[in-house]
Amino acid sequence: MLTSVLSFTPEMAATVTEYCTNSSNDVSGDMKELWDWTVGEFEDSDKMSSPLQGATMQFLAQLLGAKRILEIGCYSGYSALAWYEATKQTNAEIITLELDPKMIAASRRTIAKYKMADRVHLIEGKAQDSIETLTGTFDIIFVDANKDGYETYVKQILDKKLLSPNGLIMCDNVFARGMTISTEANPHLPGKVRPYWTECGKALKRFNNFCKNDPRIDTVLMPVYDGVTFIKWKQ
C-alpha cells in the first residue's frame, strides 16, 4: 500500500470505525452513559470525541504516565472524563478550558456527577486568555476548541513553555472534514456545514504550515479520525 489512508465510502468508514472500536479497549460505563446523555441533549454532539478516541486518549495518558493534562475545549466533559479515569494512578491534575455558557453548565454537571472535582479544574472564558494565566508544565495538551485558534494556542504553549520536556500536544480535527486538504476532498460533507468547515480548513492549513516550519517542534499529522496532529519538542 503506497498511501496512508484507504478510500472508504461513508458506510465502509462506519463499519471500520465499529470494527476498530470493538477491537480496542472498552470505555467505562460512565463514559458510555455520558456519551448517550450528550447525544440526547445536544444537536451538535458530533463535537464530542468518539469512544475510540476516548480509548486512545486513555492509552496515551497511561503510556506517558501523565501527571498534568491541559485540555482546550471541554464541551460536555467526555474527554475530561477519559483523562480523569486514565490517570487514577498518577493522580493527574486536569485543567480544561471552555467558553460557551451552555457547555460550561454541561461540564460542571459532568464534573459533579462523576465526582471529578478533586482533579478536574474548569477555567471559564476565552482559551487564549485562560492560557495566559497558566503556569508550570503539562504532559499532555489536547487542542480541541475553535479551529481558527489552534495556531495562537500552540504558539502560546510553546512561547510559555507549557509543554513538559517529554510532553505531547494532540490537535484534533486538523483535516476539517477534509476541507484543509481541498474543498473537493469530501463530496459527502453536507452543504449545511460545508461553509463552516471550509473556513476551518483555511485556518487549519495555516496551522499545519506553522507546525511543519516551527524549528522548536517535531510534528506528525496522522490520517486518523478527522486528522490528528502530534507535536513534541525537538530534541
Binding-site ranges for ligand SAM (CB under 6 A): 47-49, 73-75, 78-79, 97-100, 103, 126-127, 144-146, 149
Residue 215 in grid coordinates: 524549528
**Nearer to ligand SAM (CB atom), residue 30 or residue 100:** 100
DSSP string spanning 120-161? EEEEES-HHHHHHH--S-EEEEEE-S-GGGHHHHHHHHHHTT
The residues near 218 (Cβ < 8 Å, ≥ 6 apart) are: 231, 232, 233, 234, 235
β-strand partners of 68: 93
Q: Give the nearest distance from C-beta 71 to ligand SAM in angstroms.
A: 6
CB atoms near residue 189 (< 10 Å): 17
CB of 232 to ligand SAM, least distance (A): 20
Residue placing its CB nearer to ligand SAM in the complex, 125 or 165: 125
Compare residues 75 and 138 and give the one whose CB is closer to ligand SAM: 75
Nearer to ligand SAM, 88 or 126 (CB): 126
Give 100 or 233: the residue with its C-beta nearer to ligand SAM. Answer: 100
For the bound state, the minimum distance from the C-beta of residue 80 to ligand SAM, rounded and expressed in Å, comes to 7
Per residue in 22-41, is it b (16+ CB within 10 Å) or e — as a string?
A: eeeeebbebbeebbebbeee
> Which residues have C-beta within 8 Å of that of residue 143, sequence separation ≥ 6?
72, 73, 150, 153, 154, 169, 170, 171, 172
**Residues for the chain: how many in total?**
235
Taking alpha carbons only, the member of 66, 61, 58, 72 closest to residue 134 is 72
- The strand pair at 120-124 and 138-143 is best described as unpaired
Q: CB of 167: closest distance to ligand SAM in angstroms?
A: 18
CB of 9 to ligand SAM, least distance (A): 25
Query: Minimum distance between the CB of residue 132 and ligand SAM, rounded to whole angstroms?
Result: 12
Nearer to ligand SAM, 62 or 146 (CB): 146
